[in-house]
Amino acid sequence: MLDLTADVRSLTAQLVDIESVSGGERPLADSIEEQLGGLGHLTVRRDGDAIVARTDLGRDQRVVIAGHIDTVPIAGNVPSHRDGDRLYGCGTSDMKSGVAVQLKLASTVPTPAHDVSFVFYDCEEVDAERNGLRRLARTHPEWLAGDFAVLMEPTGGAIEGGCQGTMRVEVTARGERAHSARAWMGRNAIHDAGRILDVLRAYTPRRPEVEGLTFHEGLNAVFVSGGVAGNVIPDECSVTVNYRFAPDLTLDEAERYLRELFDGFEVRVTDAAPPARPGLDHPAAAAFVDSVGAGAARAKLGWTDVARMSELGVPAVNYGPGDPTLAHTRDEHVELALIVEAERRMLEWLSGTTGG
């Protein structure tokens, strides 16, 4: 059971200790719904394992503060443990420290300067089609309506604009089966797949500047599959390639680039999510940057649901206490001071007081 009266550091530990690997978020979603449902200033709604709690004060603007409650599979790093000024455990950085900040804001700011929709959603760490925010956008888009959004993704306490797109493709080499004792009668698809890996080894990442922020692309093999039996020359080998591309490209342009890059091989798109341009010149985003005062904004070198919010017409930024370089690692941890700092800055912004 979550205790929203605990300080934000202890609340982070509580969240980590409730396992919520993608697809198994229900116990955590139940607890969040129960705790927020007991607060008289919030209207709480639920769709699956996504919870939306909102104020309705008639303010001129509505902001959306969102975070996913799922984690990648646990790597022997639950329950959490504290070592000095750090809290260790699965999801500490990505992104239960950000969710803890959301919960503290929801419970301690009953009359914010803006109306607020707090969104806690499931299945962000898996295929885009399972994403809880995507489901909400399809089934209850009005729950996500707003003038501006903050995704509490790990940014190390900096503001990160936009996000890169992501695309996974299967690149397949075809051969001809034969008995391994008469290999010359066939063509080995696994050997031919070496040319796919040659393309990847020769790849030079683009580092384009988009609206003043520098992005850094990536193209990597993440799976290889092939083979029939120990005495058969394989006739098929597939390499799954993940492309992280800057927001100066559309999904169609990214797909076209990959098909040209792997010309001569079969290319099949298996998953894709669009990028989002930084949009920091939007008045609401500029006001947030000025209020939170977290230093110069930088590019988000990953995919986040700012892209989903952008598709809904809601300008959004990433801001959270976790360190993105530690996300998904066995040694994942968060600096406790950054959680406290993020809570303070967000509290000042929501309350309409001066950030710093």
* Residue 124 bears catalytic tag: yes
Measured CA distances, 253 to 88, 162, 249 (Å): 40, 18, 6
DSSP 48-101: TTEEEEE--S--S-EEEEEEE--BSPP-S--S-EEETTEEESTTIIIIIHHHHH
The residue among 351, 348, 346, 310 whose CA lies nearest residue 144 is: 310
* Residue 248 bears catalytic tag: no
The residue among 56, 157, 98 whose CA lies nearest residue 305 is: 98
Distance CA 300, CA 281 (A): 16
No. of H helices and E strands in the chain?
Answer: 10, 19
Buried b (16+ CB within 10 A) or exposed e, 105-117: bbbebeebbbbbb
Distance CA 356, CA 351 (A): 14
On whether the CB atoms of residues 233 and 177 are closer than 8 A, the answer is yes
- Residue in 25, 70, 235, 236 annotated catalytic: 70
- Residue in 25, 49, 122, 124 annotated catalytic: 124
Distance CA 168, CA 222 (A): 9
Active site residues: 70, 124
